Amino acid sequence: MHVNIYTDGASRGNPGPGGYGTVMHYTDPSGKLHVKELSQGFERTTNNRMELLGVIVALEALRRPCTIDLYSDSKYVVDAFNQHWVDGWLKRGWKNAKKEPVKNPDLWKRLLEAKRPHDVTFHWVKGHAGHPENERCDELATSAADGEGRIRDEGFEAGEGLF
């Protein structure tokens, strides 16, 4: 199964209210396109946490191993895999190249677990540049950040995003 996943995160202030948006595309063997959209808002969080959560919830929504092309405008997410930052963090016990603790370890660990059964290729797309799926993800993320029904980012409140 091949799935295209598009993600974005937003934060009104950093930290502040935030949200993520995800659009998933799957074309079945008969050629029919299936689209799934996911979003959620949070009371107080950061942009990077929302970028990560957009990827995580999309991967967690898949019910079987897939080949995935994942598109994000977040260099933080894309470069972590394409430039092998994550490999270094794991070797150094969740420390970055400066020997400082990696930020958002709760979400990075959750992302690695969600990614494990899949073959994921990460692609960076320029944000706010007219890419239709990226624009839709941005709309979902900002609407979630601004809307009703925001929830608590337990990891952020526990200090995971601060060190």
pLDDT on residue 163: 43
138 known member of a binding site: yes
pTM comes to: 0.95
CATH code, 115: 3.30.420.10
Strands 2-11 and 67-72: parallel
Question: Angle formed by the axes of helices 47-61 and 75-82, to 10°?
Answer: 60
H or E stretch covering 21: strand 16-27
H or E stretch covering 138: helix 132-146
Please count the structural domains in the chain: 1
28 known member of a binding site: no
37 known member of a binding site: no
d(CA 16, CA 152): 11
Give catalytic residue positions: 8-9, 51, 73, 128, 138
Q: Please give the structure tokens belonging to residue 78.
A: 């894309």
Domain that holds residue 157: 2-162
pLDDT, one tens digit for every residue, the chain (163 residues): 999 999 999 999 999 999 999 999 999 999 999 999 999 999 999 999 999 999 999 999 999 999 999 999 999 999 999 999 999 999 999 999 999 999 999 999 999 999 999 999 999 999 888 889 999 999 999 999 999 999 999 999 888 665 4
pLDDT on residue 20: 98
Give me the DSSP letters along 46-105.
-HHHHHHHHHHHHHHH-SS--EEEEEES-HHHHHHHHT-HHHHHHHTTSB-TTSPBPS-H
73 known member of a binding site: yes
